[in-house]
Amino acid sequence: MTEDSIEFNSRDGIRIQAWRWSPEGAPRGIVQVQHGLGEHGGRYRRFGEALAAAGYVVYAPDGRGSGRTAQGRYGHWGRDGWPGWVDDLLQLNHRIRQDHPGLPLALIGHSMGSFATQQFLLDHSREVEAAVLLGSTEVSGIVAMMTAPGPVDLSSLNQGFEHRTGFEWLSRDAAEVDRYCADPACGFVPEPFTGIETLARAADPAVLPGIRSDLPILILSGDADPIAGGGAALEVVAQRYRDAGVKDVELTLYPQARHELLNETNRDEVTARIVGFLDRTIGG
């Protein structure tokens, strides 16, 4: 396994940094990972290494306003704001296709990255061969939260959990929570996402049938993830895809698991589930 980085340009001129983990020998397929709000692609090293060991090459960008791409200006989204965040998935997709012509590609989005994935699939489902949503939810409430006056405040998500750092909602693994809190590129208060109202399209039953019917979609969540509504919100998302004609939609809820499944106490189980899905869909 090797680790390196690439750069690519957003449509509004941001130079985006992306981590890359590659297997020994020829890859079986490609995995594009989009991280969530208040974090960065470097946090996916363990996951990327596991996927590389399974034969996949993995690209994980530090999205706009995040990680190395932010150059210290965390939470500043650039001229194109949220529509730019979604389009960045397409720009990286194009770069990956240039690097690995002919290889199948799976898109994995966590949290805010999963919302971007939901929106991306409305117009670009033919650009990927499989999709995975982690730490996701039904997007109508997210639009309302992100368009409310004032800075985005995630502190309410920790209600109902022990309050040691304020980020216990992320994981039952205290060491992982501490690593998040100690990372200066995590937990920042972002500026408002201009254009976030366009995310509401991902809940529009008139638009969802634009997703190709043969796209395999895997949805994974902890039933204690506060944005998942005990899993009921993900049931809504899965059923919307099925009602729109998507034939291969799987939903798994992990008991007592919280928001960051890849940093949870059962992360090995989650990773194995994703690898199994990739093997079935793009690994042949």
- Residue-wise pLDDT tens digits, 22-77: 999 999 999 999 999 999 999 999 999 999 999 999 999 999 999 999 999 999 99
What phi, psi does 186 have (nearest 5°)? -125, 155
Which pLDDT does position 152 carry in this prediction?
67
| Gap between the Cα atoms of 204 and 172, Å rounded | 34
Does residue 78 carry a pLDDT above 90? yes
What phi, psi does 66 have (nearest 5°)? -135, 155
Q: What are the DSSP calls for 130-156, one per residue?
A: EEEEES---THHHHHHHTSSSS---GG
Q: Domains along the chain?
A: 2-281 (3.40.50.1820)
Does residue 151 carry a pLDDT above 90? no
SS (H, E, C) 215-257: CCEEEEEECCCCCCHHHHHHHHHHHHHHHCCCCCEEEEEECCC
| Gap between the Cα atoms of 194 and 212, Å rounded | 28
Residue 275 and residue 50 in contact, taking contact as beta carbons nearer than 8 Å:
yes
Which pLDDT does position 145 carry in this prediction?
78
| Gap between the Cα atoms of 177 and 244, Å rounded | 38
Which pLDDT does position 144 carry in this prediction?
80
Does residue 115 carry a pLDDT above 90? yes
Global pTM reads 0.97
| Gap between the Cα atoms of 212 and 234, Å rounded | 20
Which pLDDT does position 56 carry in this prediction?
98
Q: What is the pLDDT of residues 118-150, one digit of tens each?
A: 999 999 999 999 999 999 999 988 888 777 776
Query: SS3 of 283, please?
Result: coil
